[in-house]
Copies of this chain bind each other. A is one copy, B any other.
């Protein structure tokens, strides 16, 4: 295990877990982040979206990689809802009034001004076990600060005493576990693969034709995009063209303008 302090955004958590799986190791990692999750029974943005990320090598073409925030969702998804003109599903965001907010455009502003916060995995309150997501976000916050004596919670807001922007210093942690120290890498990969195959092969819900395991959808997308390239939705296309025009670079055309 190793830990880092005084860092900044470390990018894709799964990247580090995959470094381990490529080396035949189990990888675990997490980071704190600018405060955005409210604790259970709270409404103040206190914890980062704090991913708790785990990767396993398997005997398949791609590793198991669970790379996810300990909130239900993160700001990027709400930006997507706003661009697509969709409401945010109730339960993902809690306002200072303690209620679920759903107006995606308004939420983006409310998150900036701390008038709303993200709900932890499990949702607002205790009804569907939001305290578990809140607990896991706290686990990641502690591992990202206490071993390395780094900053945490409000000190990561990026806003100084007089409202000015200030640097924030994030912490990360990384664990690598060698299956060779137990019963060997090959048997680990086989059993891990067997578990994932059994899960995918189990009884589907009516109307669902497929069960996925963590990292599978991303692997399928990666395979597809190697051939097709990356699709850009119309709202983002419009933004890219607006930036191009603002910069007076109208001699350039994007492929999607054809």
Contact = CB atoms under 8 A, between A and B. Distances in A.
A243 to B, nearest CB: 32
Interface size class of A (residues with CB under 8 A): 35 or more
A148 B188 CA distance: 8
A152 B191 contact: yes
Contacts of A122: 72, 121-122, 133
A44 B192 CA distance: 19
Copies of this polypeptide in the complex: 2
Nearest to A126: B212
A205 B119 CA distance: 12
Given A42-B211, A121-B121, A129 B204 contact: no
A23 B18 CA distance: 32
Contact of A202 (B39, B128, B136, B187): B39
A212 B126 CA distance: 11
Interface stretch (A177-185, A220-228, A248-256): A177-185
Nearest to A77: B129
Given A72-B129, A92-B128, 4 more contacts: A39-B202, A41-B212, A152-B191, A153-B198
